[in-house]
Amino acid sequence: MTAKPVNLTEALASFTDVYSPRIVARMNDYDVRVAHTRGEHVWHTHADTDEFFLVLDGRFDIALRDADGHEHTVVLYRGDTFVVPRGTEHKPSSPGGSILMFEPSGTLSTGDVPDGAIPAHVDRTAGHELE
Amino acid sequence: MTAKPVNLTEALASFTDVYSPRIVARMNDYDVRVAHTRGEHVWHTHADTDEFFLVLDGRFDIALRDADGHEHTVVLYRGDTFVVPRGTEHKPSSPGGSILMFEPSGTLSTGDVPDGAIPAHVDRTAGHELE
């Protein structure tokens, strides 16, 4: 028994909320998730895992803060891939777009949030099932 | 020190050989690889890992053989994702296209080939570096 193919365009068309990842595939103990992006995400860290991003459409920025507190932003467009290393504080933002993510199952979308304040438009989730 | 973004279109434009994956990103102990596809791959199995495919362009078919020896083929187009479960004998083929794969670093492109016969146009590799 094998799972059926999932088309990313159809998956993204099945929901509209931003920063609320859907799980499109599972392989080993990892998830492949997709999300719509718009607005500011929140500064957070994943202490135990890297996080892979592929921009499917639009633009997606990732601000990164190094151990010294210096910040820089990586600007990504369709087809760009980027890995945020584990333990690196980061904050996504986007004028609008969609992304694919690869990360261990159970990884929370907001990781560890330094000050605990998560905006209402950002979903704290380990990913939702596709419907 | 973080890695730079890698654009998938540029990565694919940097080489032309088919069935010879390039590693575009590493996250944890996994690779993200891209490959051009054309012609018949070879029946093989990955005993210890699932394998994730995303079709970036063109068409990519995966023939699957179940434990009873029955075969069926999954036909994939741009934007389609599919996971081949560990231990499942499979053979990709394509009239032309390109794919993205997630798999543990070190996974061989041809896994375990039952009869050991690998066509000349299929590269047995754990992925090459981008140049």
Neighbours of B30 (CB within 10 A): 24
Mean pLDDT over each residue of chain A, to the nearest integer: 94
Reported CATH class of domain B8-129: mainly beta
Tens digits of per-residue pLDDT, B8-53? 999 999 999 999 999 999 999 999 999 999 999 999 999 999 999 9
Cα dist from B116 to B89, B119, B127, whole Å: 14, 10, 19
A95 CB burial (10 A radius; 0-12, 13-18, 19+) = exposed
b/e map B39-72, b = 16+ CB within 10 Å: eebbbbbbeebbbbbbbbbbbbbbbbbeeeeeee
User: Which ipTM was obtained for this model?
Assistant: 0.94
Average pLDDT over residues A86-111: 95
Interface check for A14 against chain B (CB to CB < 8 A): the answer is no
Residues of A in contact with B9 (CB under 8 A): 79
Residue A112, pLDDT score? 84
Interface check for A60 against chain B (CB to CB < 8 A): the answer is no
Residues of A in contact with B92 (CB under 8 A): none
Nearest by CB to residue B50, choosing from A7, A28, A100, is A28
Question: CA angle, corner A17, sides to A89 and B81, nearest 5?
Answer: 80
Q: Are B25 and A53 in contact (CB under 8 A)?
A: no
Residues of B in contact with A30 (CB under 8 A): 30, 102
Tens digits of per-residue pLDDT, B85-119? 999 999 999 999 999 999 999 998 998 887 778 88
